[in-house]
């Protein structure tokens, strides 16, 4: 019975917070980023790290939540580089991946004046 009462109190508390004027701002933006890596996972990680940096520069406020709404691939390139150890021995191939993405993000932030 105590658990039921706690749940009802929490719901009432949430309703009170929504009735007050909020300082939380919500904005959507389109960010174009590039990512490079030795495999696709590294390339996507690099691109999303770039997206975070670009979002912090663009909004220039205290970001609470950053949510990608859509990810569109603009360019997806693969580079193959053949090398030989000491010019003659042991040929090997090295593959590099490069991505260019358009990411639409929704940022929730507190505007600091």
pLDDT for the residue 89: 74
pLDDT for the residue 87: 65
Domains of the chain: 24-110 (3.30.110)
pLDDT for the residue 17: 45
Nearest-angstrom CA–CA distance, 76 and 12: 50
pLDDT for the residue 20: 64
Strand ranges in the chain using DSSP code E only, listed in sequence order: 24-37, 62-85, 89-110
From first to last of its 113 residues, what are the pLDDT tens digits of the chain? Answer: 444 444 444 444 444 344 467 888 899 999 999 999 999 999 999 999 999 999 999 988 889 999 999 999 999 999 988 877 776 777 888 899 999 999 999 999 998 87
pLDDT for the residue 85: 73
Predicted confidence (pLDDT) per residue in 27-45, tens digit: 999 999 999 999 999 999 9
pLDDT for the residue 7: 42
Nearest-angstrom CA–CA distance, 56 and 44: 19
Q: How many other C-beta atoms lie within 10 A of the C-beta of residue 105?
A: 21
Spatial CB neighbours of 106, under 8 Å, sequence gap ≥ 6: 26, 27, 28, 66, 67, 69
Phi/psi class of residue 60: alpha, beta or left (left: φ > 0; alpha: ψ in -120 to 50)? left
């Amino acid at each position: 019975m105590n658990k039921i009462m706690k749940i009802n109190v929490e719901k009432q508390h949430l309703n009170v917070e929504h009735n007050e004027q909020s300082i939380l701002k919500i904005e959507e933006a389109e960010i174009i980023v590039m990512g490079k890596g030795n495999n696709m996972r590294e390339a996507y990680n690099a691109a999303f790290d770039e997206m975070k940096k670009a979002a912090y520069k663009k909004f220039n406020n205290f970001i609470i939540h950053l949510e990608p709404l859509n990810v569109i691939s603009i360019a997806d390139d693969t580079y193959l580089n053949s090398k030989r150890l000491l010019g003659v021995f042991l040929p090997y191939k090295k593959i590099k991946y490069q991505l260019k993405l358009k990411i639409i993000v929704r940022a929730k932030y507190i505007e600091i004046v």
